[in-house]
Structure 1
Amino acid sequence: MPQHQPFDFQAYSCDIQTRPCFICQMVAGKPAYAHEIIYEDERAIVFLNKYPPLYGYVLIAPRDHREQVTGDFTLDEYLALQQIIYRVAEAVRRVVSPERVYVLSLGSQQGNKHVHWHVAPLPPGVPFEQQQLAALSLKHGFLQLSAEETSALASQLRAALAV
Protein backbone atom coordinates (compact mmCIF):
# COMPACT_ATOMS: atom_id res chain seq x y z
CA MET A 1 0.00 0.00 0.00
CA PRO A 2 1.36 3.46 -0.84
CA GLN A 3 2.68 5.75 1.87
CA HIS A 4 1.59 9.31 2.61
CA GLN A 5 3.77 12.02 1.10
CA PRO A 6 3.89 15.63 2.37
CA PHE A 7 1.47 18.02 0.67
CA ASP A 8 2.51 21.63 0.01
CA PHE A 9 -0.83 23.33 0.60
CA GLN A 10 0.62 26.83 0.14
CA ALA A 11 1.94 26.01 -3.35
CA TYR A 12 -1.31 24.20 -4.21
CA SER A 13 -3.42 27.18 -3.05
CA CYS A 14 -1.38 29.57 -5.18
CA ASP A 15 -1.66 27.22 -8.16
CA ILE A 16 -5.43 26.72 -8.03
CA GLN A 17 -6.07 30.43 -7.63
CA THR A 18 -3.96 31.46 -10.62
CA ARG A 19 -4.28 28.72 -13.25
CA PRO A 20 -7.16 27.99 -15.61
CA CYS A 21 -9.89 25.65 -14.42
CA PHE A 22 -8.19 22.25 -14.23
CA ILE A 23 -11.42 20.36 -14.94
CA CYS A 24 -12.17 22.38 -18.09
CA GLN A 25 -8.56 21.92 -19.21
CA MET A 26 -8.75 18.17 -18.57
CA VAL A 27 -12.06 17.91 -20.48
CA ALA A 28 -10.38 19.80 -23.36
CA GLY A 29 -7.60 17.18 -23.40
CA LYS A 30 -4.75 19.48 -22.33
CA PRO A 31 -1.81 17.19 -21.40
CA ALA A 32 -0.65 19.43 -18.54
CA TYR A 33 -4.00 18.77 -16.82
CA ALA A 34 -4.22 15.02 -17.45
CA HIS A 35 -5.78 12.81 -14.80
CA GLU A 36 -6.57 9.11 -14.77
CA ILE A 37 -10.09 9.16 -16.20
CA ILE A 38 -12.38 6.39 -14.97
CA TYR A 39 -15.55 7.26 -16.86
CA GLU A 40 -16.93 9.99 -19.08
CA ASP A 41 -20.07 10.64 -21.03
CA GLU A 42 -21.77 13.69 -22.52
CA ARG A 43 -22.63 15.02 -19.04
CA ALA A 44 -19.81 14.11 -16.68
CA ILE A 45 -16.20 13.13 -16.22
CA VAL A 46 -14.96 10.85 -13.43
CA PHE A 47 -11.28 10.71 -12.49
CA LEU A 48 -8.87 9.71 -9.76
CA ASN A 49 -7.86 12.42 -7.32
CA LYS A 50 -4.20 13.37 -7.92
CA TYR A 51 -3.71 14.08 -4.21
CA PRO A 52 -5.74 11.39 -2.45
CA PRO A 53 -5.61 11.23 1.33
CA LEU A 54 -7.47 7.90 0.99
CA TYR A 55 -6.94 5.00 -1.43
CA GLY A 56 -9.61 4.91 -4.14
CA TYR A 57 -10.55 8.61 -3.88
CA VAL A 58 -12.45 9.68 -7.00
CA LEU A 59 -13.77 13.03 -8.27
CA ILE A 60 -16.87 13.53 -10.43
CA ALA A 61 -17.59 16.76 -12.33
CA PRO A 62 -19.97 17.97 -14.99
CA ARG A 63 -18.18 18.39 -18.32
CA ASP A 64 -19.57 21.91 -18.66
CA HIS A 65 -18.16 24.55 -16.34
CA ARG A 66 -20.69 25.00 -13.55
CA GLU A 67 -19.96 26.62 -10.22
CA GLN A 68 -23.02 26.14 -8.03
CA VAL A 69 -23.86 22.73 -6.60
CA THR A 70 -27.58 23.17 -7.33
CA GLY A 71 -28.12 26.65 -8.76
CA ASP A 72 -26.38 25.95 -12.07
CA PHE A 73 -28.42 22.80 -12.81
CA THR A 74 -31.99 22.01 -13.62
CA LEU A 75 -33.46 19.35 -11.36
CA ASP A 76 -33.19 16.77 -14.14
CA GLU A 77 -29.52 17.65 -14.82
CA TYR A 78 -28.72 17.44 -11.12
CA LEU A 79 -30.46 14.09 -10.68
CA ALA A 80 -28.72 12.66 -13.76
CA LEU A 81 -25.37 13.65 -12.26
CA GLN A 82 -26.36 12.16 -8.91
CA GLN A 83 -27.04 8.84 -10.65
CA ILE A 84 -23.47 8.86 -11.93
CA ILE A 85 -22.18 9.72 -8.45
CA TYR A 86 -24.16 6.80 -7.02
CA ARG A 87 -22.74 4.39 -9.60
CA VAL A 88 -19.20 5.62 -8.93
CA ALA A 89 -19.64 5.34 -5.15
CA GLU A 90 -20.90 1.77 -5.59
CA ALA A 91 -17.95 0.91 -7.84
CA VAL A 92 -15.54 2.34 -5.27
CA ARG A 93 -17.29 0.39 -2.51
CA ARG A 94 -17.01 -2.88 -4.44
CA VAL A 95 -13.35 -2.36 -5.41
CA VAL A 96 -11.91 -0.91 -2.20
CA SER A 97 -14.20 -2.52 0.45
CA PRO A 98 -14.20 0.51 2.76
CA GLU A 99 -15.85 0.84 6.14
CA ARG A 100 -17.78 3.79 4.74
CA VAL A 101 -17.92 5.85 1.54
CA TYR A 102 -18.01 9.62 1.91
CA VAL A 103 -19.73 11.65 -0.83
CA LEU A 104 -19.46 15.42 -0.71
CA SER A 105 -18.99 18.51 -2.81
CA LEU A 106 -16.13 20.84 -1.98
CA GLY A 107 -14.62 23.79 -3.79
CA SER A 108 -14.46 27.54 -3.49
CA GLN A 109 -15.20 30.63 -5.52
CA GLN A 110 -11.57 31.52 -4.80
CA GLY A 111 -10.17 28.36 -6.40
CA ASN A 112 -11.50 25.09 -7.82
CA LYS A 113 -14.70 26.87 -8.85
CA HIS A 114 -15.83 24.11 -11.21
CA VAL A 115 -18.32 22.17 -9.10
CA HIS A 116 -17.29 18.59 -8.41
CA TRP A 117 -18.09 15.79 -6.02
CA HIS A 118 -15.69 13.72 -3.96
CA VAL A 119 -16.16 9.99 -3.43
CA ALA A 120 -13.76 9.06 -0.66
CA PRO A 121 -13.58 5.53 0.77
CA LEU A 122 -12.70 5.26 4.47
CA PRO A 123 -10.61 2.13 5.10
CA PRO A 124 -11.79 -0.27 7.81
CA GLY A 125 -10.36 0.21 11.29
CA VAL A 126 -9.63 3.94 11.21
CA PRO A 127 -10.12 5.30 14.76
CA PHE A 128 -13.21 7.51 15.09
CA GLU A 129 -11.21 10.69 15.78
CA GLN A 130 -9.38 10.16 12.46
CA GLN A 131 -12.58 9.68 10.44
CA GLN A 132 -14.89 12.13 8.66
CA LEU A 133 -13.24 15.48 7.85
CA ALA A 134 -10.00 14.41 9.55
CA ALA A 135 -9.70 11.50 7.08
CA LEU A 136 -10.11 13.88 4.14
CA SER A 137 -7.51 16.37 5.37
CA LEU A 138 -4.22 16.70 3.54
CA LYS A 139 -2.56 17.84 6.77
CA HIS A 140 -0.95 14.40 6.99
CA GLY A 141 -0.11 14.29 3.29
CA PHE A 142 -1.48 12.33 0.36
CA LEU A 143 -1.01 8.82 -0.97
CA GLN A 144 1.62 8.76 -3.69
CA LEU A 145 0.56 5.93 -5.98
CA SER A 146 2.95 4.61 -8.60
CA ALA A 147 1.86 4.71 -12.24
CA GLU A 148 1.24 0.96 -12.04
CA GLU A 149 -0.88 1.27 -8.88
CA THR A 150 -2.87 4.13 -10.40
CA SER A 151 -3.46 2.21 -13.61
CA ALA A 152 -4.50 -0.95 -11.76
CA LEU A 153 -6.94 0.96 -9.53
CA ALA A 154 -8.40 2.78 -12.53
CA SER A 155 -8.86 -0.53 -14.39
CA GLN A 156 -10.63 -2.09 -11.42
CA LEU A 157 -12.94 0.91 -11.06
CA ARG A 158 -13.72 0.92 -14.79
CA ALA A 159 -14.60 -2.78 -14.63
CA ALA A 160 -16.81 -2.22 -11.57
CA LEU A 161 -18.59 0.65 -13.34
CA ALA A 162 -19.24 -1.55 -16.36
CA VAL A 163 -21.31 -3.98 -14.25
Structure 2
Amino acid sequence: MDLEVYVERTRIGPCFVCAFLTGNPEYPHTTVFEDADHVAFLDRWPTVPGKVLVAPKVHVEHVVRDLDEAAYSRLMLFVREIAFAVEAVCEPERTYLYSLGSQQGNAHLHWHVAALPVGVPYAEQQFHALMTENGVLTLSPEQAAPMAARLREAVIARGVLKPG
Protein backbone atom coordinates (compact mmCIF):
# COMPACT_ATOMS: atom_id res chain seq x y z
CA MET A 1 0.00 0.00 0.00
CA ASP A 2 1.33 3.40 -0.98
CA LEU A 3 0.13 5.56 1.92
CA GLU A 4 0.87 8.83 0.14
CA VAL A 5 -1.20 7.83 -2.91
CA TYR A 6 -3.98 6.57 -0.65
CA VAL A 7 -4.18 9.86 1.26
CA GLU A 8 -4.24 11.88 -1.97
CA ARG A 9 -6.97 9.66 -3.39
CA THR A 10 -9.12 10.06 -0.27
CA ARG A 11 -8.84 13.81 -0.49
CA ILE A 12 -9.34 14.46 -4.22
CA GLY A 13 -10.89 11.27 -5.57
CA PRO A 14 -14.54 10.33 -5.62
CA CYS A 15 -16.27 9.07 -2.50
CA PHE A 16 -14.86 5.56 -2.11
CA VAL A 17 -18.11 4.08 -0.77
CA CYS A 18 -20.25 5.59 -3.52
CA ALA A 19 -17.68 4.57 -6.16
CA PHE A 20 -17.67 1.01 -4.83
CA LEU A 21 -21.47 0.84 -4.74
CA THR A 22 -21.76 2.07 -8.34
CA GLY A 23 -19.25 -0.53 -9.54
CA ASN A 24 -16.30 1.75 -10.26
CA PRO A 25 -13.49 -0.73 -11.07
CA GLU A 26 -10.91 1.51 -9.39
CA TYR A 27 -12.71 1.02 -6.05
CA PRO A 28 -13.22 -2.74 -5.75
CA HIS A 29 -14.25 -4.28 -2.45
CA THR A 30 -15.55 -7.68 -1.49
CA THR A 31 -19.08 -7.46 -0.11
CA VAL A 32 -19.76 -9.30 3.11
CA PHE A 33 -23.46 -8.50 3.52
CA GLU A 34 -25.98 -5.88 2.53
CA ASP A 35 -29.55 -4.99 3.20
CA ALA A 36 -31.71 -2.31 1.60
CA ASP A 37 -29.93 0.54 3.42
CA HIS A 38 -26.44 -0.65 4.43
CA VAL A 39 -23.44 -2.52 3.12
CA ALA A 40 -20.59 -4.34 4.85
CA PHE A 41 -17.42 -5.05 2.87
CA LEU A 42 -13.87 -6.18 3.49
CA ASP A 43 -11.35 -3.42 3.99
CA ARG A 44 -8.96 -3.27 1.02
CA TRP A 45 -6.07 -2.50 3.34
CA PRO A 46 -6.81 -4.37 6.55
CA THR A 47 -4.44 -4.12 9.45
CA VAL A 48 -5.99 -7.14 11.18
CA PRO A 49 -7.60 -10.26 9.67
CA GLY A 50 -11.28 -10.00 8.81
CA LYS A 51 -11.48 -6.20 9.03
CA VAL A 52 -14.83 -5.01 7.70
CA LEU A 53 -16.18 -1.58 6.81
CA VAL A 54 -19.88 -0.81 7.24
CA ALA A 55 -21.64 2.11 5.58
CA PRO A 56 -25.08 3.39 4.75
CA LYS A 57 -25.75 3.09 1.02
CA VAL A 58 -26.91 6.69 0.87
CA HIS A 59 -24.10 9.24 0.99
CA VAL A 60 -24.20 10.43 4.60
CA GLU A 61 -21.32 12.38 6.09
CA HIS A 62 -22.09 12.98 9.74
CA VAL A 63 -23.22 10.29 12.15
CA VAL A 64 -25.08 12.66 14.46
CA ARG A 65 -26.45 15.45 12.25
CA ASP A 66 -27.27 13.45 9.10
CA LEU A 67 -29.19 10.55 10.64
CA ASP A 68 -32.47 10.68 12.49
CA GLU A 69 -32.88 8.43 15.50
CA ALA A 70 -34.47 5.58 13.55
CA ALA A 71 -31.78 5.60 10.82
CA TYR A 72 -29.03 5.78 13.43
CA SER A 73 -30.54 2.83 15.33
CA ARG A 74 -30.83 0.73 12.14
CA LEU A 75 -27.22 1.52 11.22
CA MET A 76 -25.94 0.63 14.67
CA LEU A 77 -27.90 -2.64 14.68
CA PHE A 78 -26.29 -3.46 11.32
CA VAL A 79 -22.82 -2.61 12.70
CA ARG A 80 -23.49 -4.77 15.76
CA GLU A 81 -24.57 -7.77 13.70
CA ILE A 82 -21.52 -7.47 11.46
CA ALA A 83 -19.36 -7.28 14.60
CA PHE A 84 -20.96 -10.49 15.91
CA ALA A 85 -20.10 -12.17 12.60
CA VAL A 86 -16.51 -10.92 12.77
CA GLU A 87 -16.23 -12.26 16.31
CA ALA A 88 -17.66 -15.65 15.31
CA VAL A 89 -15.25 -16.02 12.39
CA CYS A 90 -12.09 -14.40 13.79
CA GLU A 91 -12.43 -15.24 17.51
CA PRO A 92 -10.64 -12.05 18.61
CA GLU A 93 -9.39 -10.95 21.98
CA ARG A 94 -11.34 -7.71 21.44
CA THR A 95 -13.41 -6.17 18.68
CA TYR A 96 -12.82 -2.53 17.87
CA LEU A 97 -15.66 -0.42 16.44
CA TYR A 98 -14.83 3.04 15.23
CA SER A 99 -15.82 5.63 12.68
CA LEU A 100 -13.25 7.79 10.93
CA GLY A 101 -13.20 10.23 8.03
CA SER A 102 -13.84 13.94 7.79
CA GLN A 103 -14.93 16.61 5.34
CA GLN A 104 -11.32 16.60 4.13
CA GLY A 105 -11.26 12.94 3.10
CA ASN A 106 -13.26 9.72 3.28
CA ALA A 107 -16.32 11.82 4.05
CA HIS A 108 -18.93 9.06 3.56
CA LEU A 109 -19.89 7.82 7.01
CA HIS A 110 -18.46 4.37 7.63
CA TRP A 111 -17.66 2.19 10.61
CA HIS A 112 -14.62 -0.05 10.97
CA VAL A 113 -15.10 -3.44 12.58
CA ALA A 114 -11.65 -4.72 13.50
CA ALA A 115 -10.95 -7.97 15.34
CA LEU A 116 -7.82 -7.82 17.48
CA PRO A 117 -6.19 -11.25 17.24
CA VAL A 118 -5.52 -13.11 20.46
CA GLY A 119 -1.94 -12.77 21.66
CA VAL A 120 -1.06 -9.39 20.18
CA PRO A 121 1.31 -7.70 22.66
CA TYR A 122 -0.34 -4.78 24.46
CA ALA A 123 2.08 -2.25 22.94
CA GLU A 124 0.87 -3.34 19.47
CA GLN A 125 -2.86 -3.16 20.26
CA GLN A 126 -5.43 -0.38 20.01
CA PHE A 127 -4.40 2.49 17.71
CA HIS A 128 -1.12 0.79 16.81
CA ALA A 129 -2.97 -2.26 15.45
CA LEU A 130 -5.27 -0.07 13.36
CA MET A 131 -2.77 2.28 11.69
CA THR A 132 -1.87 1.46 8.10
CA GLU A 133 1.49 3.08 8.75
CA ASN A 134 2.32 -0.03 10.79
CA GLY A 135 1.59 -2.33 7.86
CA VAL A 136 -1.37 -3.84 6.08
CA LEU A 137 -2.34 -7.38 5.22
CA THR A 138 -2.51 -8.28 1.55
CA LEU A 139 -5.56 -10.32 0.57
CA SER A 140 -5.87 -11.72 -2.91
CA PRO A 141 -9.38 -12.13 -4.34
CA GLU A 142 -8.92 -15.86 -3.77
CA GLN A 143 -8.39 -15.16 -0.05
CA ALA A 144 -10.99 -12.41 0.30
CA ALA A 145 -13.92 -14.36 -1.17
CA PRO A 146 -13.82 -17.22 1.38
CA MET A 147 -13.43 -14.76 4.28
CA ALA A 148 -16.43 -12.75 3.05
CA ALA A 149 -18.42 -15.97 2.62
CA ARG A 150 -17.66 -17.12 6.18
CA LEU A 151 -18.64 -13.70 7.53
CA ARG A 152 -21.85 -13.67 5.45
CA GLU A 153 -22.76 -17.14 6.74
CA ALA A 154 -22.24 -15.94 10.31
CA VAL A 155 -24.53 -12.93 9.72
CA ILE A 156 -27.22 -15.12 8.19
CA ALA A 157 -26.91 -17.71 10.99
CA ARG A 158 -27.82 -15.10 13.60
CA GLY A 159 -31.02 -14.37 11.66
CA VAL A 160 -31.35 -10.71 12.70
CA LEU A 161 -30.49 -8.97 9.41
CA LYS A 162 -32.41 -9.63 6.22
CA PRO A 163 -30.48 -9.44 2.93
CA GLY A 164 -31.66 -6.81 0.55
Q: TM-score, normalised by structure 1?
A: 0.93
Matched with 1:155 is 149
Bigger Cα displacement from structure 2, 140-149 vs 111-120: 140-149
Matched with 2:69 is 75
- 2:3 and 2:142 mapped to 1: Cα distance? 26
- 2:41 and 2:137 mapped to 1: Cα distance? 16
- 2:127 and 2:26 mapped to 1: Cα distance? 30
Identity of aligned residues (%): 42
Alignment of 1:1-163 (within 5 A): 7-163=1-157
- 1:101 and 1:31 mapped to 2: Cα distance? 30
Query: Which structure has greater strand proportion?
Result: 1
What displacement does 1:30 show? Answer: 2.3
- 1:162 and 1:31 mapped to 2: Cα distance? 28
- 1:149 and 1:99 mapped to 2: Cα distance? 22
RMSD, aligned CA: 0.9
- 1:139 and 1:30 mapped to 2: Cα distance? 26
- 1:43 and 1:142 mapped to 2: Cα distance? 29
Alpha carbons 2:128, 2:134 under 8 Å: kept: no
What displacement does 1:31 show? Answer: 2.5
Q: TM-score, normalised by structure 2?
A: 0.93
What displacement does 1:9 show? Answer: 1.4
* Structure 2 portions without partners, runs of 5+: 158-164
Bigger Cα displacement from structure 2, 144-153 vs 94-103: 144-153
Equivalenced residues, count: 157
- 2:108 and 2:29 mapped to 1: Cα distance? 16
What displacement does 1:73 show? Answer: 0.1
In structure 2, give the amino acid aligned to 1:24. C
